[in-house]
Chains A and B, each alone.
Chain A
Amino acid sequence: MPEDKKTKILIVEDEEVICKAYADELRDEGFAILIAKNGQVGLELALREKPDLILLDILMPVMDGLTMMDQLRQKDLYGKNVPIILLTNLSASEEKIMKAITKDEPAYYLVKSDWNLSAVIEKIKERLARKV
């Protein structure tokens, strides 16, 4: 399948090894992958390339995931609607996180250490199928 026909997924994650694992698996599943190491780069990349779904880590240098999500949601129609899956090791009970989830409506909040690779892929496919 030619590159530009593939579904594009943006992975915003500062931990190289973790990023690599998700990227490699998703590529094997036939997705086109974009990578950003922090929220700032992630925001620029998202607005420029308009991926079909974003995997977003929370704790990152320069700009964290919640800030990026918030800014993205306010940019344009694309930013408002693009499905975002928060992938983090923080537990969702932090007040700041709960507020962000309520305001910016990510599709899912997954705690990395609790989710098998294949289960995450399933969730991604599920969400993408819903949009189409």
Chain B
Amino acid sequence: MENREKTTEQLKEDLRKTREELAIQKWGLEKTLGGMKVLVKELIQKGKEIEGAKAKDEALLESIGDGVIAINSEGKIILMNQAAQEMLGWHPENMAGRLVYDVVMIEDEKGNVIPREKRPVYLALAGTTTTTTTTTTTTGPTYVYVRKDKTKFPVAIKVTPTVVDNKIIGAVEVFRDITKEKEIDRAKSEFVSLASHQLKTPPTAIKLLTERLLGGKMDKLTEKQKEYLNDIHSENQRSIELVNALLNVSRIEMGAFTIQLNEKNICAVVQSVLYELKSVIDKKQLKLEEVHPEKSITVPIDEALFRMVLNNLAMNAVNYTAEGGTIHIECKEVNKGETLGEKLFAENSFVVVVSDTGYGIPKQAQDKLFTKFFRADNAREKHTDGTGLGLYIVKSILDNSGGSIWFTSEENKGTTFYVAIPMTGMHAKIGKKELVDI
């Protein structure tokens, strides 16, 4: 009875204790609630900051002047910034989720649609290149984007695949409207063509008149008069050659020249170039040795450009070798892995070796030999006319067509030049102009 009944005193004590516990718990809960409120406040604050940062990032992306398109591995657009939308005429629609191939229409300069597999975005996604770049006005084909309203503009595109854990998960393309650059290039090119035409007019007049005077149909000339007139004629010819060389240099620098390939019996071309130089070689009483392989070799080349290269090297050999010297020209096929002229060959190549017993190239001049207007001192001494542009043009032609050129030389002993073209042929190049014969 006593255990079950608690005295009023005890009950009051129990109540008091319970109240105390409740008060402590309430205090604890209130504290937790207070803490949670602070947490919520902080979360709301953080949320605002993140949104602010996101807004800044979006504004950043949107403010990029170039067009930016991000796509996933299927080619669906994840993001297309304002500039891209404006340039392509799709603004202000929501592009996300649409297939980039349906939204961005691409053609070549002539108006032919570029097939999907050849598109820079496709190539980037396929992983065939690390960065697909179709650049500006000087290298690579010119691509044209077609706007929603069917108007077009030339474009410079750079697409990079997005790689995570060695897998391509998408790509980002950045592109730019290059209408202005193309305009400027066209204007530059026209200026150069016009300028070289104008520059050649007075020398042409002088050329023709001196030929008239020397032709014998006019009054008889004294020996001295003939001599001077011949000098005038050759000096004038130098002017013409210089203008032509400069025109070529300009076209090379602007990447504007064309390389068109045809399968040719390459040794026959070499022989014909040398045949044309026979009279000059004989005049200087030089001995010409020609070595050609037994079987004929066919290589796809741009004949005009190849002739220019060969002609230049052969004429250099003639000009920089004293009377009675020897010029040795050899054509051969060199296989991958073999060595010739102290160079190891990385692919099967056709090589022309042009060797002479001439003045040689001084050591200090050797690494400048292929630069514009450079002429070694001993060359200047022995042979005053010469533009200093020949080797620059030759090297540029070979650099642009996948070939190569190098030499070995010793002063007063002779020089040997090597020209190598891959057996698979020169690389073709689309360009608007041809180089002028020099």
Is there an interface contact between B205 and A93, defined as CB atoms closer than 8 Å? no
B264 at the interface (CB under 8 A from A): no
Q: How far in angstroms is the closest Cβ of chain A from B188?
A: 15
Q: Which of B228-246 contact A (CB under 8 A)?
A: 240, 243-244
A21 to B200, CA, bound (A): 16
B434 at the interface (CB under 8 A from A): yes
Residues of A within 8 A of B408 (CB): none
Name B437's contact: one of A88, A89, A95, A114 (CB within 8 Å): A114
Is there an interface contact between B208 and A21, defined as CB atoms closer than 8 Å? yes
Main secondary structure of the interface of A (DSSP, over half): helix
* Among A4-12, A22-30, A38-46, A77-85, the stretch in contact with B: A22-30
Bits for B190-221, please: 1 = Cβ < 8 Å to A, else 0. 00010011001101110111011001010000
Residues of B within 8 A of A21 (CB): 205, 208-209, 211-212
A113 at the interface (CB under 8 A from B): yes
B436 at the interface (CB under 8 A from A): yes
Q: How far in angstroms is the closest Cβ of chain A from B253?
A: 17
Report the nearest A residue to B202, measured CB to CB: A17
Residues of A within 8 A of B208 (CB): 17-18, 21-22, 25, 117
Residues of A within 8 A of B437 (CB): 114
Q: How far in angstroms is the closest Cβ of chain A from B213?
A: 10
Is there an interface contact between A15 and B205, defined as CB atoms closer than 8 Å? yes
Q: How far in angstroms is the closest Cβ of chain A from B430?
A: 13
Known: A15-B205, A25-B217. A89 touches B212 (CB 8 A): no
Is there an interface contact between B436 and A15, defined as CB atoms closer than 8 Å? no
Is there an interface contact between B207 and A113, defined as CB atoms closer than 8 Å? yes
Residues of B within 8 A of A88 (CB): 197
B432 at the interface (CB under 8 A from A): yes
Main secondary structure of the interface of B (DSSP, over half): helix
Place the interface of chain A in its size category. Answer: 20 to 34
Is there an interface contact between A112 and B200, defined as CB atoms closer than 8 Å? yes
Is there an interface contact between A18 and B200, defined as CB atoms closer than 8 Å? no
Residues of A within 8 A of B215 (CB): 25, 117-118
Is there an interface contact between B203 and A113, defined as CB atoms closer than 8 Å? yes
Is there an interface contact between A24 and B212, defined as CB atoms closer than 8 Å? yes
A95 to B110, CA, bound (A): 14
Is there an interface contact between A91 and B201, defined as CB atoms closer than 8 Å? no
Known: A21-B205, A91-B436, A94-B193. A113 touches B212 (CB 8 A): no
Known: A18-B201, A22-B208, A113-B244. 7 other contacts (CB 8 A): A17-B205, A21-B205, A59-B197, A89-B204, A93-B258, A113-B200, A117-B211
A residues whose Cβ falls under 8 Å from a Cβ of B: 15, 17-18, 21-22, 24-25, 28, 59, 88-95, 112-114, 116-118
Sorted nearest first, the 6 A-B pairs with minimum C-beta distance are A21-B208, A93-B434, A17-B205, A117-B211, A89-B200, A28-B217
A-B contact pairs, 26 of them (CB 8 A): A15-B201, A15-B204, A17-B209, A18-B201, A18-B205, A21-B208, A25-B212, A25-B215, A89-B196, A89-B197, A89-B200, A89-B201, A89-B204, A90-B193, A90-B197, A91-B247, A91-B433, A91-B436, A93-B434, A113-B200, A113-B203, A113-B243, A116-B207, A117-B208, A117-B211, A118-B215
